[in-house]
Amino acid sequence: MSVPSVVQSVTGAKVERLPLARFTTLGVGGDSEVWTVQNHAQLAEAMSAPYRILGGGSNLVVSDAGVPERVIRLGGEFARTDLMPDPALSTPELLITGWVGGGVPLPGLLRKIQKLGYSNLEGTVGIPAQLGGAIWMNAGTRFGETFDGLHSLEIAAPDGKRTVTPDELHWGYRDSGIPRNHIVTRARLKLRPSTPEEVQTRMDAADIARKGQPKNRTPGCAFKNPGNGLPGAGQLIDQAGLKGRRVGNAMIAPEHANFIVNLGGASAHDVHALLDEIRAAVEVPLALEYELWP
């Protein structure tokens, strides 16, 4: 079988054909054309043909055939962190940081913020996203969400870039209101002065709630809880007797039935087969929590 060649970038973006399994927490996903961009010129070129933006790959099940579009990854200036409070914008009660790139991994960012003794984002501890991906879907837990610590953000679209504040977006629960494929390139954070110890204590509390989640590779929860007083998705899948059910090397986690894990070498095909089994066995309609690419 012939391998499709990759185009050459005129702005110096790195263009490679790579397995997306390498960039997803589930560890599945076939070869695709990956554009790693360092600056706005490279990003604009990458966005000049159909594309998808990849963050931490922690909410994705990517097809074994990969995707036909360009896959953009943020590097260079979009992966820098400036947490120095901006004196022109900050007050003693509220610190507005410099710019933090959309491609910065959230866990390391939270660690730095904790060491500085700054508060507001610790409710998002344990979410293996990049900052841009976490902002795009306002990722969070019952202890807090990404928009709690957001002052302003820069968004790139095919027609140019703009800076907005959260007030200008229709954001809400797990939703930023930012259109799909508009790329969060960087953000200024809005943090409160606290102490490293206090921030750590709140992070520990949020972390304890994750006890019982599986340690294997996974894209997080498979289905949204149906609400309306019904049991959670995990409980419904468990009641259907599917805990531990395995197809190929994908398994419904014995620890928590709303997680599908990769035991090593699983394919997207295996994961889809398990999702279909769950839909067939659970009588309540369940909405998928993660995204399927393509």
Ligand X SMILES: Cc1cc2nc3c(=O)[nH]c(=O)nc-3n(C[C@H](O)[C@H](O)[C@H](O)COP(=O)(O)OP(=O)(O)OC[C@H]3O[C@@H](n4cnc5c(N)ncnc54)[C@H](O)[C@@H]3O)c2cc1C
Can residue 73 be called a binding residue for ligand X (CB under 6 A)?
no
Q: Which is nearer to ligand X, 95 or 275 (CB)?
A: 275
Which residue among 137, 252, 268, 286 contacts ligand X (CB under 6 A)? 137
Can residue 183 be called a binding residue for ligand X (CB under 6 A)?
yes
CB neighbours of residue 87 within 10 Å? 9
Task: Tell me the number of residues near ligand X by CB under 6 A.
Answer: 30
Which residue among 28, 61, 100, 127 contacts ligand X (CB under 6 A)? 127
Can residue 66 be called a binding residue for ligand X (CB under 6 A)?
no
CB of 245 to ligand X, least distance (A): 20
Token digits for 12? Answer: 């110096």
Give the interface segment with ligand X, choosing from 36-44, 130-138, 240-248, 260-268 (CB under 6 A).
130-138
Contacts for 81 with CB less than 8 Å, ≥ 6 apart: 100, 101, 104, 109, 112
- Asked if 106 and 129 count as a contact pair (C-beta separation under 8 A), the reply is yes
CB of 130 to ligand X, least distance (A): 4
Three-class secondary structure of residue 206 per DSSP: helix
- Asked if 85 and 96 count as a contact pair (C-beta separation under 8 A), the reply is yes
d(CA 191, CA 182): 25
- Residues written for the chain: 294
Residue 221 known to be catalytic = yes
Q: Which is nearer to ligand X, 27 or 85 (CB)?
A: 27
CB of 66 to ligand X, least distance (A): 15
- Asked if 86 and 97 count as a contact pair (C-beta separation under 8 A), the reply is yes
Q: Which is nearer to ligand X, 186 or 245 (CB)?
A: 186
Can residue 52 be called a binding residue for ligand X (CB under 6 A)?
yes
Can residue 130 be called a binding residue for ligand X (CB under 6 A)?
yes
In the beta sheet, which residues pair with residue 99? Answer: 188
CA-nearest of 185, 217, 232 to 38 is: 185
CB of 193 to ligand X, least distance (A): 26
Can residue 175 be called a binding residue for ligand X (CB under 6 A)?
no
Can residue 121 be called a binding residue for ligand X (CB under 6 A)?
no
Q: Which is nearer to ligand X, 187 or 191 (CB)?
A: 187
* Helix axes 196-208 and 106-116, enclosed angle (nearest 10): 140
Can residue 27 be called a binding residue for ligand X (CB under 6 A)?
no
Helices in the chain by DSSP H: which ranges? 40-46, 106-116, 131-136, 196-208, 233-239, 268-281
How many distinct helices (H) and strands (E) make up the chain?
6, 16
The site string for ligand X over 206-235 (x = CB under 6 A, - otherwise) reads ------------xxx---------------
Residue 279 known to be catalytic = no
Measured in degrees and rounded to the nearest 5, phi and psi for residue 225 equal -70, 135
The one catalytic residue in 174, 210, 246, 279 is 174
Q: Establish how many alpha carbons lie within 13 A of residue 34's alpha carbon, considering only the half-sphere containing its beta carbon.
A: 19
Catalytic site positions: 174, 221
- Would you tell me which residues interact with ligand X (CB under 6 A)? 25, 52-60, 102, 127-130, 132-134, 136-137, 139-141, 174, 183-184, 218-220, 291
